[in-house]
A = this chain, B = another copy of it.
Amino acid sequence: MAKPRKEMIAETRAKLIAAARRAFGTIGYAEASMDDFTAEAGLTRGALYHHFGDKRGLLQAVIQEIDAEMTERLNRVSADAPTRWQGFVEENVAYVEMALEPEIQRIMFRDGPSVLGDPSTWPNANGCIAAVARTISALKSEGAIADIDPEAGARLIVAASSGAAQWIANSEDPKETSRRAVDGFRTLLEGLRAHEDEIRRAV
């Protein structure tokens, strides 16, 4: 006891989110029974409806949590890199690696868009795009990258990353597919890199 009310509430919210996250990430949103995973958390559907309104609301909360984690990871990767360009590349590689995780793949890339609509419309869950866009913006101001709209570039590259990740994750030979995908990805990014003749080639 001595547990204050607020703390108890936060605890049950966290328990529900954790249980849902596990269920959504493994068997998927549609197959996850609310009765089952609330019971697993030692609660009932009553708590769920009280805190999140409905099943979709819970998914939103789960997605927000995961997005925050992903954004944090991306920011650290690019911040730790020796140069901005390397940070950019490694940030994207990190994104691919995250997208390889089954839980992220399932929740963020498959069930999420299906249930909540396109990710670009999610509130408080576009941290990853923003992170990459910031990096591109910084690279542009250094003149290290082609002239591209930062958000557009971020969205294109992030989409390509996740596409690559899903290709890898679902291939028969992930090792080999990964090699092909990453090589291709590097080539794609390298094409964006500014070099002296850039001005001459531009039309």
Contacts and interface: CB of A to CB of B under 8 A. Distances in A.
Interface string A160-178: 1011101101110000000
Contact of A164 (B105, B113, B156, B181): B156
A201 B191 CA distance: 11
A184 B187 CA distance: 16
B156 A118 contact: no
A51 interface: no
Contact of A163 (B115, B155, B167, B185): B155
> Which secondary structure characterizes the binding site on chain A?
helix
How many copies of this chain? 2
Nearest to A30: B30
B155 A181 contact: yes
Interface residues of A, number: 50
A159 interface: yes
Interface stretch (A6-14, A70-78, A144-152): A144-152
Contacts of A197: 195, 197
A192 interface: yes
Given A120-B167, A120-B171, A121-B170, A188 B156 contact: yes
Contacts of A188: 148, 153, 156, 188, 191-192
Contacts of A180: 149, 151-152
A54 interface: no
B187 A195 contact: no
Question: Which 8 residue pairs of A and B lie closest in terms of their CB atoms, listed nearest first?
Answer: A191-B191, A159-B163, A152-B184, A114-B114, A156-B160, A160-B160, A118-B170, A152-B180
